[in-house]
A and B are shown apart, each in its own frame.
Chain A
Amino acid sequence: MATAEVEHTARTLADHLPVLQILVPFVAAPLIVLFGNRALAWPLAFIASAIAFVISCLLLAQVIDGGFISYAIGGWAPPLGIEYRVDATNALLLFLISGISTVALPYAFTSIRSEVPKRNHTLFYACYMLCFTGLLGVVITGDAFNVFVFLEISSLSTYVLVAQGAGRDKRALTAAYDYLIMGTIGATFFVIGLGMLYMSTGTLNMADLADRIADQGGNRTIRAAFAFIVVGMGLKVALMPLHLWLPNAYTFAPSAVTVFLAATSTKAAVYVLLRFMFSVYQPPFVFEVNTLYFIFIPFALLAMFVASFVAVFQSDFKRMLAYSSIAQIGYMLLGIAMLNTSGLTATVVHMFNHGITKGVLFMGVGALVLRAGSSFYDSIAGLGRRMPLTGAAIVVGGLSLIGVPGTAGFVSKWMLVQAAFENGFWWIAILVVLSSLLAVAYVWRVFEVIYLKEPAADAPRGDPPLPMLIPMLILAGACLWFGIDTQLTIGAAHTAAESLLEGSFGMAPSAAAVTETLGH
């Protein structure tokens, strides 16, 4: 046990990166409120987000080849103190979340001005920063209860952000309310699961939990805890029968919020699932309890088809994308359920690739909404021709969503198909391809609407202003870039998948890696 005294040696700023990753946006939120100035809110948020992005790049560079960084908050060594732990899995997620936030903020600057009442702007950015902090915290922390705390921080601020859509459509309020109820139940289940774990092991540090669960094997309490944690997180993930909050929340939230949430929040939840399944509970345990085969595979397949069919028939672009997200989450869960390296690689890569893909698509929707006032197919007909660059970005995103070779979406689906074949589940591979055909159908409908239909005579002209356009093009470029150069994504995901499958989240090497304290 790592209660041994740790020498206070390392004192450079670089050693504090893990905590700065959280602190910078976390401090930015109250600062925005304290200044209370609309003109200052956005710059503060953007600077904090950009700094967080730089930090995440530095962290990713340190762990991409394997290994991890363990950071003891306040110098209290784990397991008593709270530990932040960065390895390839969550470094990639930190990179995704802070990257998306940094490109989404310039987009939000224009988009929010047209969708949210002026008096709410300051608090909007404060909430956004809190949500951002929460998502980063969920991903970076190595303490099980700390996960819950950050989860609540991000969830509560998310409800507020979703409700901001009320300026455009009052249904945003009921969507936020439903999400609040569901999210709270999910978080409650999660914390019940944690309680059970604490009851039977007496610790909350993930690495320590892993050691003790391995020691005493799976008793009933621990098994029940597993079920509560999976279902609780399944709700945040929007696993098929628990997805009902998602379409409304994504549809009625302001465009910039949808961009940020769709690209990051479900991914963070998938990460927590991965972490608990493979690092806290070990792979042999997960294998033993069959949850993957009897719960994940059937519901993931169901999600892939039901949600895709719903998406095909939608008449609202934004809502269509929300349903498509549910289907895509099916792919990620399927990757986990394969329980092999390729499958987990597929999941981690798909979290990243789907994040940027959905990011560009929801940005495209936001741009259309800015010009046309709504995202219904009727009102955006022919706009691809009037807004050429927006249309091009939507096409790139759409192709990536389908998984056309040369785009990011292809890489992860290809990995998933490979994983299915490795397990001998060829029928799953076929179903993945079939559901991609449904993606072709719903993406084609959008292409048809925005390009092949005649625009109305009074249809708006011209691409959105640069602050919205540039982030959209950056993400569209990323969709292409990561479809061709897969070194970063596949590399990090492969390292992550291997370390997850080894299940070695044990405490042993951490003493050497423990760095430093704040404030001493």
Chain B
Amino acid sequence: MISVIPTAFLFFAAALVLLALPKKGILRPLLLLATPIIAAAWVWNSGLGNFAQIEFFGLELEFMRLDRLSRVFVMVFCLAAFLGNLYAWHVRDTVQQVAALLYAGSAIGAVLAGDMITLFFYWEGTAIASVFLIWARGTEGAYWTGMRYLIIQIGSGVILLAGVVLWYHDTGSIAFERMTLGSLATWLIFLSFGIKCAFPLLHNWLQDSYPAATVTGTVILSAFTTKLAVYALARGFAGTEILIYIGTVMTLFPIFFAEIENDLRRVLAYSLNNQLGFMVVGIGIGTEMALNGTASHAFAHILYKALLFMSVGAVLFRTGTSKASELGGLYRTMPLTATFCLVGAASISAFPLFSGFVTKSLILDQAAGAHYELVWLALVFASAGVLSHSGIKIPFFTFFAHDSGKRPAEAPTHMLWAMGITAFLCIFIGVFPDTLYAILPYDVDYAPYTVGHVVGQLQLLLFALLAFVVVYRTGIHPPEVRQINLDFDWTYRKAAPSVIRVVAAFVAHVYGGILTFLTNRVNNTMNRLYRSHGPEGRMARNWPTGAMVLSIALLLGATLLVNFAG
């Protein structure tokens, strides 16, 4: 019976309750931790099925479509919300606390949405709730970043809505099921998912906004929005071939940006983009195992990416900077954080016995098995790149490399707990992959730990490591300096505006002329209207009684004429 209430509402209710609790004390953090646990237990125990259908203006809205695909995403979202909130135990900012709950709730609601209208509402919900995590940082830059983020996210929602309306017009259904690209409707929906999933050239909001959020906000941000898009693509466009190529490009191009980027949180944002590429490839292949690979990779990815963001966040929290050029040698005073960071790095690089290994190889094998050899090669190259920029660069330049002289204290206890649990989960999944495989959308018959897999992966990783050492020793590795790297967003943040300025000057001239002309005309019209309709005008004046009576007579005459003529 209880499963009739959509899970997302639990989070919204918790957000309301939170407002009633005292700002100080542990009640609020406890509520923040309890909510995702209760939600996860609730979803886990309610069994699969379609609950909570509501009739709305003749449309069937489904708030709780719980099948194996949506369940794995809900479980990992709950897990991420729990870990993120534990990491943010120290935060006493009501706005961030409420935003975190609403954001997680909206993301879970979107995953459970069985129709695209509900999806749209939650889609916009995630956008609006999450922007507060960026604004909460309170800086001028964060404000404008938040605005850009919001415009793009809301834009994605609006495109989604347009697509849904067209889709409803074409098919008469709003059910959220698998679609085939072809009509304008499906392309619009695809584009909207693509924006949220940070497809190449649509990706800049991610690198722009995640590094701008608060220390804890980034951890929470990194879990939901893009993985929601991955889920939506897996639900709606599984087996769409173009996704394979989009995904391949996504795995490749962020590597180079990540290599030269100085802000470590932005490095992680680029690497997030690259990891999404693997999932998108999996969706594009679209076989059951490939979708399993996508879902499991999303699961593992949320954990180790959160772990990396947490460790870099802890450093930022203690030292006030996350720039590689200003960090180094922190392992002396932050040994635990360094260890957890290494676990995260090993996981994202897919070392055997870490979570990335057991999930990524699912996708790689499917790519090879489906005879996309070039794609497979590209993915292998991207895997090596991941090791370089996330596996080595992040921990190396933060905790080792040249000594920055900084001696920050170890991360706060609750952060250590959050990182510790996450690190444990990363290793646990790596060692016991069957626990994760058991909750995947389809039954898994796959053994990651074969000699071939392990040896192949180790070869790849060790050579990549070797290459890094050689490059670093010979001084070819791009130096960690403060700089701004131009990405595609330069085109719309700098180039387009300057072109527009030239055009605008011309247009402004012409427009000014037309405007003056029109203003004069409008003024004249208004004056005429005022003369006739103003308080003293013909139409508003009090008429003599006789004139009123005359108007009656005239109208009667007219009516009689019309009646007799008819």
> What residues of chain A have their CB less than 8 Å away from a CB belonging to chain B?
177-178, 181-182, 185-186, 189, 220, 223-224, 226-228, 230-231, 234-235, 239, 241-242, 244-245, 247-248, 288-291, 294-295, 306, 309-310, 312-316, 323
Contact = CB atoms under 8 A, between A and B. Distances in A.
B56 interface: no
19 contacts: A181-B545, A181-B548, A181-B549, A182-B549, A186-B552, A223-B566, A235-B552, A241-B554, A242-B551, A244-B542, A247-B540, A248-B542, A289-B562, A290-B563, A291-B562, A295-B562, A306-B533, A310-B533, A313-B540
B552 A231 contact: yes
B558 interface: yes
A227 B566 contact: no
Given A182-B548, A231-B556, A290 B562 contact: yes
Nearest to A241: B551
Interface in B514-547: 529-530, 532-535, 537, 539-540, 542-543, 545
B533 A291 contact: no
B486 interface: no
B467 interface: no
A343 to B, nearest CB: 20
B560 interface: yes
A459 to B, nearest CB: 23
Contacts of B559: 227, 230-231, 291, 295
B2 interface: no
A309 B534 CA distance: 8
A199 B195 CA distance: 77
Given A181-B549, A244-B543, A289 B533 contact: no
Contact of A242 (B535, B537, B555): B555
Contacts of A313: 529-530, 533-535, 537, 540
A189 B556 CA distance: 9
A309 B529 CA distance: 8
Contact of B556 (A178, A227, A290, A314): A227
B539 to A, nearest CB: 5
B539 A306 contact: yes
B555 A310 contact: no
A294 B562 contact: yes
Contact of A310 (B537, B545, B556, B558): B537
* Top-7 shortest CB links A-B: A309-B533, A227-B559, A313-B534, A289-B566, A290-B566, A310-B540, A241-B551
B564 interface: yes
B56 to A, nearest CB: 13
B1 interface: no
A395 B96 CA distance: 33
B248 to A, nearest CB: 46
Nearest to A305: B533
A182 B545 CA distance: 8
Given A185-B552, A316-B535, 11 more contacts: A177-B545, A181-B545, A182-B549, A186-B552, A223-B563, A227-B563, A231-B552, A235-B552, A290-B566, A309-B539, A310-B537
Contacts of B502: none
Indicate the member of B540, B542, B549, B564 with the most A CB atoms within 10 Å.
B540
Contact of B563 (A185, A226, A239, A306): A226
B20 interface: no
B484 interface: no
Contacts of B532: 309
A309 B558 CA distance: 25
Nearest to B532: A309
Interface of B: 529-530, 532-535, 537, 539-540, 542-543, 545, 548-549, 551-552, 554-556, 558-560, 562-566
Contact of A178 (B548, B554, B566): B548
B555 A234 contact: yes
A315 B535 contact: yes
A223 B562 CA distance: 10
A314 B540 contact: yes
A306 B563 CA distance: 26
Contacts of A226: 563
A349 B534 CA distance: 31
A227 B560 CA distance: 6
A231 B555 contact: yes
Nearest to B542: A248
Indicate the member of A245, A247, A289 with the most B CB atoms within 10 Å.
A289
Contacts of B529: 309, 313
B566 A288 contact: yes
Nearest to B564: A223
B563 A291 contact: yes
A220 B561 CA distance: 11
Nearest to A290: B566
A333 to B, nearest CB: 13
B547 to A, nearest CB: 8
A224 B563 contact: yes
B552 A289 contact: no
A446 B105 CA distance: 41
B544 to A, nearest CB: 9
A223 B542 CA distance: 33
Contacts of B566: 223, 288-291
A306 B537 CA distance: 11
Nearest to B558: A295
Contacts of A181: 545, 548-549
A315 B529 CA distance: 15
Contacts of B534: 310, 313
Contacts of B556: 189, 227-228, 231
A426 to B, nearest CB: 19
Contacts of B530: 313
A178 B545 CA distance: 6
Contacts of A247: 540
B565 A290 contact: yes
Contacts of B563: 223-224, 226-227, 289-291
A247 B542 CA distance: 9
A289 to B, nearest CB: 4
A213 to B, nearest CB: 14
Contacts of A291: 559, 562-563, 566
Contact of A224 (B542, B554, B560): B560
A247 B543 CA distance: 11
A220 B564 contact: yes
A185 B552 CA distance: 9
Contacts of A230: 559
A336 to B, nearest CB: 15
B309 to A, nearest CB: 41
Contacts of B560: 224, 227
Contact of B540 (A234, A239, A323): A323
Contacts of B537: 310, 313
B120 to A, nearest CB: 17
A391 B168 CA distance: 42
A19 B263 CA distance: 84
Indicate the member of B532, B534, B537, B562 with the most A CB atoms within 10 Å.
B562
Contacts of A227: 556, 559-560, 562-563
B300 to A, nearest CB: 45
A145 to B, nearest CB: 21
Nearest to B565: A290
